[in-house]
Structure 1
Amino acid sequence: MGTIDVKRELRGLYGGKVGWFDVVEIPTMHFLMADGSGDPNTSEDYRAVLEALYTTSYAVRAICKTDLGRPHTVGPLEGLWYADDLGVFTARAKEAWRWTMMIWQPEWVTADMVATAVGKVTTTKPAVAVDHIRFEEFSEGTAVQTLHVGPYDAEGPVIARMHDEIIPGRGMVASGHHHEIYLSDARRTDPARLRTILRQPVRSAGE
């Protein structure tokens, strides 16, 4: 069996074109998740959450490969971003942000497998904050999304256009949390070349 890569298997959800806003249907998917708040550039909790998510995801991958013979590529980091006032996102007022960071898991991953992975991480890397982690189904349904290429701090105008022009122009309203999918490794990529999916769940304005 070949290695499963969610970016390849679900190209329509993990790809796009700059300046083009697609309406997509998101199936129910499974994720490792962890919550927090504050500026991701300065928050120690944010760093701890990312370390826990990646370490646990790689431990799950090892179990899938060894026990099931079903290898997969660890999915990209994704984030749900929310606040009482959505204006903080276009204003980039990061101290007011709340977030749920998450990494996709294949459909054959079970809660027991995740618990085993967490146990292994706890034993081998006790400093990793796996107590932050939970394993959940996530259903978004209909969403509008686009590809942004460039620094994260340049996303504001694109998000504003999505909310103020694109979504109402298609007879829809925002429903659910702003969702970002980080297709590039920010540690190794020039900020001008960072590729990020910007997604907003929506519903019909008549509902």
Structure 2
Amino acid sequence: MTAALPERYRARRGQVALVDVPDLLLASVDGAGDPNGPAFADAIRALYGVSYTAHFLLKKLAGEAPRVLPLEGLWWVDDHAAWDTFTRVAVGEAAVDDVDRALWRWRAFIVQPAPLDEDLLAEAVVAAAAKAGEPPPAVEVSRWCEGLSAQLLHVGSYAEETPSIVALHEGITALGYRPRGRHHEIYLGDPRRSAPEKLRTILRHPVEPVG
């Protein structure tokens, strides 16, 4: 039987909730541009290659291993005008697609659950790259602590996230917090296997108390 996902991967549609995200081990790839482009697709393949390699290395050593966790992504822009548009998205004055996708920056990653550690993950990065047969994107091994965050579940296509993003930010304000850091998405659905209207994505944003 497949083990249940950790509590932080559970969210309800249209209901904003707070979650305290602990220090985590990541395999990640940084990039820029349209997520429908080849760079993001290559990053996803590399991350799953490393994650499944790490899973089977641990299983060989310990006899068992936790499940491979979902793909996640951080999204931001460095361009000031584009950032202003993203800010307007959060209050419902613009749509995500109003920002030129060529300006988008992203970090795609998969959390590596304990008892996986940095050494075994680094070994998996080398092994997965050798197996790929061609130079894959550079997969980084790091630790990251997002801390207190707000999240909700979006059901539907990625192109229709704007109302859910607005609801998330309205909920953050209603709870007495303000956003900090970068927009975070957790992909519970696989677009290669699910109809767009059935995709499930957790939208998350780190927060801090107002004042």
**Fold agreement, TM-score > 0.5:** yes
Aligned partners of 1:48 and 1:128 also within 8 Å? no
Q: C-alpha distance in 2, partners of 1:194/1:147?
A: 10
Question: Are the equivalent residues in 1 in contact too, given 2:25–2:118 (CA < 8 A)?
Answer: no
**Where does structure 1 lack aligned partners over 5 or more consecutive residues?**
none
Say whether the 8 Å CA contact 1:121–1:128 is kept in structure 2.
Answer: no
Structure 1 residues 48-127: aligned runs within 5 Å: 48-84=42-78, 85=83, 87-88=85-86, 90-92=95-97, 93=99, 94-127=101-134
Q: Is the 8 A contact 2:74 2:183 kept in 1?
A: yes
1:52–1:128: 8 Å Cα contact kept in structure 2?
Answer: no
1:21 to 16, 20, 24: 16
Give the SS at the match of 1:61: helix
Identify unmatched segments of 5+ residues in structure 2. Answer: 90-94
Q: Distance in 1 between matches of 2:102 and 2:129?
A: 31
CA distance in structure 2 between the partners assigned to 1:60 and 1:133 by the alignment: 13
Seq. identity, %:
36
C-alpha separation between the residues in 1 aligned to 2:5 and 2:157? 26
Question: Cα distance, 1:27 vs. partner?
Answer: 1.3
AA paired with 2:156?
G
CA distance in 2, matches of 1:45, 1:87: 24
Q: How does 1:1-207 map to 2 (within 5 A)?
A: 5=3, 8-11=4-7, 13-42=8-37, 44-84=38-78, 85=83, 87-88=85-86, 90-92=95-97, 93=99, 94-130=101-137, 132-163=138-169, 165-206=170-211
Deviation at 1:20, TM superposition (A): 0.6
Cα distance in structure 2, aligned partners of 1:37 and 1:65:
34
| Aligned equivalents of 2:199, 2:58: Cα separation in 1 | 30
Q: Aligned pair count?
A: 198
Write the distance in 2 (CA, Å) between the matches of 1:106 and 1:169: 33
Q: 3-state DSSP class of the match of 2:66?
A: coil
For 2:202 and 2:172, how far apart are their aligned partners in 1?
16
TM-score, L = length of structure 1:
0.89
> Contact 2:71–2:109 (CA<8 Å) still a contact in 1?
yes
CA-based RMSD: 1.7
Residue 174 of structure 1 deviates from its aligned partner by 0.6
2:92 aligns with none
Q: Is the 8 A contact 1:149 1:195 kept in 2?
A: yes
Amino acid of the structure 2 residue aligned with 1:27: P
Query: Please, what TM-score do these two structures have when normalized by structure 2?
Result: 0.87
